[in-house]
Structure 1
Amino acid sequence: MGEQDSLTSPVEIIDLPEDLVDAAVALWQQTGLTRPWNDPHEDCRRALAGAESTVLAAVDARHRLLGTVMLGQDGHRGWIYYTAVEKSLQGGGIGKRLLTAAEDWLRDRGVPKLMLMVRQENAEVQQFYRGMGYTDQDTVVLGRWLDS
């Protein structure tokens, strides 16, 4: 369904307000972005509290959450996470607007490069990012838990 078909008011991109944190986590769960080993509420709170990170939200005039993108930067690279759009609105341009807003947020802070991770099996999302000009960086992402 397209954006015009599903929305009755304009979409605004804002920093995620505290009263929409639970809605953001519910959206992440509905779109399959959460994993049992990560606490999405804590991820969200940490990003909102950080000086070099935020969560951007797409909202309508009724303050209804339509989509999110979490982002941050380390001084060299920007990273985005939890990019999600309400399923009935996917394909209507909200994801592109969120991604563009994230890029602008990082660009305004002098960050030269944006990185993101997409699970191997998520071909549809990989196609979305490729359509926005993102390319495979020929890297392997390694990780390690800092808590024992």
Structure 2
Amino acid sequence: MTVTIRPFAPGDTEAVIGLWMQAFPEYRDTSQPHRNPRLSIENKLGTQPELFFVATRGEGNDSGEGDENGTIVGTVMAGYDGHRGWLYSLAVDPGARRLGIGTRLVQHAEAALLARGCPKLNLQVLHDKAEVLAFYASLGYRTDAVVSLGKRLEP
């Protein structure tokens, strides 16, 4: 059994949504229309789709090249605006956690951003996700002395 990381392909949509519905309980809250996984995928495919990665697990070699027949066990989205990079939607299938898949996805996204000249990477974690915060701390991420502000622009 090997894990490979490759760019997202449109045929991955249903598997990714299924994974996200497990990994992100907030996606099941229909009162939050901005947390629509299908819309998140559509938006990412419109902006830097090459920075949307999936991890697949299946038989084959460990070359890191696409194993389009494997089962999707992880995702990460990255973005770079020329000033800062961002990570979004890091998810690993609950049955595949603690195998290094999340770490490999983060490292893959970091390398892709570094190749674009990205000097700093940001991400946001919901404040009550202690396990997620500990995971990122183990990868060298630290809390910045900033306050995250947001404003919904849709009506």
TM-score calculated relative to the size of structure 1: 0.88
Inter-CA distance 100–140: structure 2 relative to 1 (3 Å threshold): same
8 Å Cα contact 2:51/2:112 also seen in 1: no
Runs of 4+ displaced beyond 4 Å: none
1:59 matched to which residue of 2? 56
Deviations, residues 47-84 of structure 1 (Å, cap 9, x unaligned): 12323763100012342101000111111111111100
Give, in whole Å, the separation in 2 of the partners of 1:114 and 1:26.
27
2:151 matched to which residue of 1? 144
Query: Which residue of 115, 122, 129 maps to 1:115?
Result: 122
Query: Which residue of 22, 41, 44 maps to 2:41?
Result: 44
2:63 matched to which residue of 1? none
Inter-CA distance 53–71: structure 2 relative to 1 (3 Å threshold): farther
8 Å Cα contact 2:125/2:132 also seen in 1: yes
Identity over aligned residues, as a percent? 35
2:80 matched to which residue of 1? 73
- Bigger shift: residues 111-120 or 53-62: 53-62
1:28 to partner: Cα distance: 1.1
- Structure 1 stretches of 5 or more lacking a match? 1-8
1:18 to partner: Cα distance: 0.8
Inter-CA distance 103–115: structure 2 relative to 1 (3 Å threshold): same
Query: Which residue of 16, 19, 42 maps to 2:11?
Result: 19
8 Å Cα contact 2:91/2:102 also seen in 1: yes
| Count of aligned pairs between the two proteins | 140
**Cα-Cα RMSD:** 1.5
1:5 matched to which residue of 2? none
Residue 85 (structure 1) aligned with residue 92 (structure 2): yes
Give, in whole Å, the separation in 1 of the partners of 2:49 and 2:20.
22
8 Å Cα contact 1:54/1:71 also seen in 2: yes
| Aligned counterparts, 1:5-16, within 5 A | 9-16=1-8
Give, in whole Å, the separation in 2 of the partners of 1:59 and 1:52.
18
